[in-house]
Amino acid sequence: MAQLRAMDGKDIGCSDWQLLDQDRISAFADATGDHADIHVRPDSAAAQELGSTIAHGFLTLSLLPSMIYAFLPGVEGYTGLNSGLDRVRFISPVPVGSRVRGRFTLDRLKEVPTGGLALRLSATVEIEGQTRPALVAIWLNRFIQSKSA
């Protein structure tokens, strides 16, 4: 827990790049039922207008957990839970074949009366080679004490 407290108010890391290829985009479309042409049909008018298919915004958003795991420490005796998202903004479309990564700041860490911790993180998903990000969001998390602890 001390390691987590030391990160309060600081940039905590940047993930490795992740490839968003057509197979991954199509698998997300299958999982969610969102088969809009702009995501799965490179020959569609919408994809032609943008130059390619694009990743779903929610696919990009769903990568946040895998992006942060490398450097956000777990807390012994606690379980991490999503509490929600605030101010999610999809800034730039992510063209098929792009690589994205997450950059995170721990804006606030506070103890809650139930004995857990509440975290407020700023998250930015960057697109390799572009100056504008794919998305920005405030991500809310909690660490609750495990019953076995």
Give residue-wise pLDDT tens across range 120-146: 999 999 999 999 999 999 999 988 877
Whole-prediction pTM value? 0.89
Indicate the DSSP class of residue 27: H
Residue carrying the six token digits 């420490």 = 73
Give residue-wise pLDDT tens across range 35-65: 999 999 998 877 788 889 999 999 999 999 9
The continuous run of DSSP H or E covering 124 comes out as strand 117-127
Domains of the chain: 1-19+56-145 (3.10.129.10)
